[in-house]
Amino acid sequence: MVYFTSTHLDQSLNDMPSKFKPRKSKPPLPELCSAVLKLREGSGWSQEEIARRVGIASMTWSRYERGAMVPSSYSVLNRLARLAENLKLLDEQELFERAAEKVRPSVEEIIEQMNPFRKSEAARSQPHSPHEWRLAQVARLCTRFFPEEARAIEKAAPTAVALVDEVLARGGRADYQELEQRLDALADERARESFHRSK
Protein backbone atom coordinates (compact mmCIF):
# COMPACT_ATOMS: atom_id res chain seq x y z
CA MET A 1 0.00 0.00 0.00
CA VAL A 2 1.29 3.48 -0.94
CA TYR A 3 0.60 6.45 1.27
CA PHE A 4 0.71 10.01 -0.05
CA THR A 5 1.55 12.93 2.15
CA SER A 6 0.09 16.36 1.53
CA THR A 7 3.44 17.34 -0.01
CA HIS A 8 3.10 14.53 -2.57
CA LEU A 9 -0.47 15.57 -3.35
CA ASP A 10 0.49 19.24 -3.79
CA GLN A 11 3.33 18.22 -6.11
CA SER A 12 0.99 15.96 -8.10
CA LEU A 13 -1.47 18.84 -8.55
CA ASN A 14 1.33 21.15 -9.70
CA ASP A 15 2.47 18.58 -12.30
CA MET A 16 -1.09 18.07 -13.59
CA PRO A 17 -2.14 19.90 -16.80
CA SER A 18 -4.23 22.98 -15.94
CA LYS A 19 -7.37 21.65 -17.61
CA PHE A 20 -7.45 18.77 -15.11
CA LYS A 21 -6.70 20.82 -11.98
CA PRO A 22 -9.62 21.43 -9.67
CA ARG A 23 -10.94 24.98 -10.08
CA LYS A 24 -10.98 27.32 -7.16
CA SER A 25 -14.49 28.50 -6.45
CA LYS A 26 -15.16 32.22 -6.81
CA PRO A 27 -16.04 34.06 -3.64
CA PRO A 28 -19.67 35.18 -3.54
CA LEU A 29 -20.42 38.67 -4.83
CA PRO A 30 -21.02 41.41 -2.25
CA GLU A 31 -24.75 41.98 -1.77
CA LEU A 32 -24.75 45.37 -3.54
CA CYS A 33 -22.88 43.89 -6.52
CA SER A 34 -25.42 41.06 -6.82
CA ALA A 35 -28.17 43.69 -6.80
CA VAL A 36 -26.39 45.62 -9.57
CA LEU A 37 -26.27 42.44 -11.67
CA LYS A 38 -29.98 41.79 -11.01
CA LEU A 39 -30.77 45.34 -12.16
CA ARG A 40 -29.13 44.79 -15.52
CA GLU A 41 -30.65 41.34 -15.96
CA GLY A 42 -34.06 42.75 -15.03
CA SER A 43 -33.73 45.64 -17.45
CA GLY A 44 -32.47 43.63 -20.43
CA TRP A 45 -30.02 46.45 -21.26
CA SER A 46 -26.33 46.11 -22.07
CA GLN A 47 -23.74 47.22 -19.53
CA GLU A 48 -23.07 50.32 -21.65
CA GLU A 49 -26.76 51.28 -21.81
CA ILE A 50 -27.55 50.78 -18.13
CA ALA A 51 -24.31 52.53 -17.08
CA ARG A 52 -25.26 55.50 -19.26
CA ARG A 53 -28.72 55.63 -17.69
CA VAL A 54 -27.23 55.57 -14.19
CA GLY A 55 -24.61 58.16 -15.12
CA ILE A 56 -21.44 56.12 -14.62
CA ALA A 57 -18.78 54.67 -16.91
CA SER A 58 -19.51 51.23 -18.38
CA MET A 59 -16.17 50.03 -16.96
CA THR A 60 -17.38 51.02 -13.48
CA TRP A 61 -20.61 49.07 -14.04
CA SER A 62 -18.57 46.06 -15.14
CA ARG A 63 -16.47 46.29 -11.97
CA TYR A 64 -19.63 46.41 -9.87
CA GLU A 65 -20.99 43.26 -11.56
CA ARG A 66 -17.72 41.37 -11.05
CA GLY A 67 -17.42 42.46 -7.43
CA ALA A 68 -14.14 44.25 -8.15
CA MET A 69 -15.74 47.45 -6.87
CA VAL A 70 -18.79 48.09 -4.68
CA PRO A 71 -21.08 51.10 -5.23
CA SER A 72 -20.42 53.51 -2.39
CA SER A 73 -21.33 56.99 -3.64
CA TYR A 74 -24.56 58.44 -2.26
CA SER A 75 -25.65 59.80 -5.64
CA VAL A 76 -24.94 56.52 -7.47
CA LEU A 77 -26.71 54.44 -4.81
CA ASN A 78 -29.67 56.80 -4.98
CA ARG A 79 -29.86 56.48 -8.79
CA LEU A 80 -29.60 52.68 -8.50
CA ALA A 81 -32.49 52.72 -6.02
CA ARG A 82 -34.64 54.79 -8.41
CA LEU A 83 -33.83 52.44 -11.28
CA ALA A 84 -34.70 49.39 -9.15
CA GLU A 85 -37.98 51.09 -8.24
CA ASN A 86 -38.79 51.69 -11.92
CA LEU A 87 -37.99 48.05 -12.70
CA LYS A 88 -40.18 46.88 -9.77
CA LEU A 89 -37.20 45.21 -8.08
CA LEU A 90 -38.30 46.14 -4.57
CA ASP A 91 -35.73 44.11 -2.62
CA GLU A 92 -32.88 45.71 -4.58
CA GLN A 93 -34.49 49.14 -4.22
CA GLU A 94 -34.59 48.73 -0.44
CA LEU A 95 -30.99 47.49 -0.37
CA PHE A 96 -29.73 50.49 -2.37
CA GLU A 97 -31.76 52.93 -0.25
CA ARG A 98 -30.34 51.48 3.00
CA ALA A 99 -26.80 51.71 1.61
CA ALA A 100 -27.40 55.29 0.44
CA GLU A 101 -28.65 56.29 3.89
CA LYS A 102 -25.42 55.02 5.44
CA VAL A 103 -23.31 57.32 3.24
CA ARG A 104 -25.73 60.27 2.99
CA PRO A 105 -23.68 63.47 3.30
CA SER A 106 -24.54 65.92 6.04
CA VAL A 107 -26.00 69.34 5.22
CA GLU A 108 -22.61 70.89 6.00
CA GLU A 109 -20.88 68.55 3.53
CA ILE A 110 -23.42 69.36 0.83
CA ILE A 111 -22.97 73.08 1.35
CA GLU A 112 -19.19 72.67 1.28
CA GLN A 113 -19.41 70.70 -1.99
CA MET A 114 -21.55 73.46 -3.51
CA ASN A 115 -19.07 76.15 -2.50
CA PRO A 116 -17.26 77.14 -5.72
CA PHE A 117 -14.41 78.68 -3.73
CA ARG A 118 -13.49 75.77 -1.48
CA LYS A 119 -9.77 75.23 -1.06
CA SER A 120 -9.70 71.75 -2.57
CA GLU A 121 -10.46 73.26 -5.96
CA ALA A 122 -7.37 75.43 -6.23
CA ALA A 123 -7.71 75.69 -9.99
CA ARG A 124 -10.99 77.57 -9.65
CA SER A 125 -10.81 81.34 -9.98
CA GLN A 126 -10.87 83.15 -6.67
CA PRO A 127 -13.05 86.21 -6.07
CA HIS A 128 -11.30 89.52 -6.48
CA SER A 129 -13.21 91.27 -3.71
CA PRO A 130 -15.72 90.62 -0.93
CA HIS A 131 -18.36 92.21 -3.16
CA GLU A 132 -17.67 89.72 -6.00
CA TRP A 133 -17.76 86.81 -3.56
CA ARG A 134 -21.05 88.10 -2.12
CA LEU A 135 -22.70 88.33 -5.56
CA ALA A 136 -21.40 84.89 -6.55
CA GLN A 137 -22.91 83.39 -3.38
CA VAL A 138 -26.24 85.17 -3.94
CA ALA A 139 -26.41 83.78 -7.49
CA ARG A 140 -25.40 80.29 -6.33
CA LEU A 141 -28.01 80.21 -3.56
CA CYS A 142 -30.73 81.55 -5.83
CA THR A 143 -29.93 78.93 -8.47
CA ARG A 144 -30.08 76.08 -5.95
CA PHE A 145 -32.82 77.16 -3.57
CA PHE A 146 -34.75 80.18 -4.93
CA PRO A 147 -35.52 79.62 -8.64
CA GLU A 148 -37.90 82.60 -8.91
CA GLU A 149 -35.18 84.96 -7.68
CA ALA A 150 -32.67 83.31 -10.05
CA ARG A 151 -35.00 84.13 -12.96
CA ALA A 152 -35.24 87.71 -11.71
CA ILE A 153 -31.42 87.95 -11.68
CA GLU A 154 -31.35 86.68 -15.28
CA LYS A 155 -33.88 89.35 -16.32
CA ALA A 156 -31.96 92.08 -14.47
CA ALA A 157 -28.59 91.18 -16.06
CA PRO A 158 -29.26 90.58 -19.79
CA THR A 159 -25.73 91.52 -20.88
CA ALA A 160 -24.09 89.02 -18.53
CA VAL A 161 -26.65 86.34 -19.42
CA ALA A 162 -25.97 86.88 -23.15
CA LEU A 163 -22.22 86.44 -22.59
CA VAL A 164 -22.73 83.24 -20.59
CA ASP A 165 -25.14 81.87 -23.22
CA GLU A 166 -22.66 82.67 -26.00
CA VAL A 167 -19.86 80.80 -24.22
CA LEU A 168 -22.17 77.85 -23.51
CA ALA A 169 -23.26 77.71 -27.16
CA ARG A 170 -19.62 77.52 -28.27
CA GLY A 171 -18.58 75.37 -25.30
CA GLY A 172 -18.62 71.94 -26.87
CA ARG A 173 -17.41 69.37 -24.34
CA ALA A 174 -15.45 71.81 -22.18
CA ASP A 175 -15.53 71.50 -18.41
CA TYR A 176 -16.85 74.31 -16.24
CA GLN A 177 -13.41 75.63 -15.36
CA GLU A 178 -12.54 76.01 -19.04
CA LEU A 179 -15.92 77.60 -19.74
CA GLU A 180 -15.30 80.07 -16.92
CA GLN A 181 -11.93 81.01 -18.44
CA ARG A 182 -13.54 81.51 -21.85
CA LEU A 183 -16.27 83.61 -20.27
CA ASP A 184 -13.73 85.86 -18.54
CA ALA A 185 -11.81 86.30 -21.81
CA LEU A 186 -15.00 87.12 -23.75
CA ALA A 187 -16.15 89.61 -21.09
CA ASP A 188 -12.72 91.31 -21.15
CA GLU A 189 -12.84 91.49 -24.94
CA ARG A 190 -16.35 92.99 -24.97
CA ALA A 191 -15.42 95.49 -22.24
CA ARG A 192 -12.42 96.67 -24.32
CA GLU A 193 -14.62 96.97 -27.42
CA SER A 194 -17.16 99.00 -25.47
CA PHE A 195 -14.41 101.25 -24.06
CA HIS A 196 -12.95 101.91 -27.54
CA ARG A 197 -16.40 102.70 -28.99
CA SER A 198 -17.06 105.22 -26.23
CA LYS A 199 -13.87 107.21 -27.01
Contact 163, 154 (CB under 8 A): no
Q: How confident is the model at residue 27 (pLDDT cuts 50, 70, 90)?
A: confident
Convert the pLDDT of each residue in 1-18 to its tens digit.
555 555 555 555 566 555
Largest Cα span, the chain? 111
Q: Which amino acid is at 2?
A: V
118 vs 90: which has the higher pLDDT: 90
Question: SS3 for the chain, per residue?
Answer: CCCCCHHHHHHHHHHCCHHHCCCCCCCCCCHHHHHHHHHHHHHCCCHHHHHHHHCCCHHHHHHHHHCCCCCCCHHHHHHHHHHHHHCCCHHHHHHHHHHHHHHCCCHHHHHHHHCCCCCCCCCCCCCCCHHHHHHHHHHHHHHHHCHHHHHHHHHHCHHHHHHHHHHHHHCCCCCHHHHHHHHHHHHHHHHHHHHHHHC
* Averaged pLDDT of the chain: 79
In the chain, residues under CATH classification 1.10.260.40 are 31-103
The per-residue pLDDT for 183 is: 82
pLDDT(34) > 70: yes
Instruction: Please tell me the CATH superfamily of domain 31-103, with its number.
Output: lambda repressor-like DNA-binding domains (1.10.260.40)
The per-residue pLDDT for 6 is: 54
Q: How confident is the model at residue 119 (pLDDT cuts 50, 70, 90)?
A: very low
The per-residue pLDDT for 122 is: 42
The per-residue pLDDT for 45 is: 93
The per-residue pLDDT for 151 is: 86
Q: How confident is the model at residue 41 (pLDDT cuts 50, 70, 90)?
A: very high
The per-residue pLDDT for 7 is: 55
Give the C-alpha separation, 37 to 29, whole Å: 10
**Of 66, 47, 67, 45, which is closest to residue 57 (Cα–Cα)?**
47
What's this model's pTM, rounded to 2 decimal places?
Answer: 0.47
Convert the pLDDT of each residue in 131-167 to its tens digit.
787 888 888 888 888 888 888 888 888 888 888 888 8
Determine the straight-line distance between the first and last CA of the chain, rounded to whole angstroms.
111
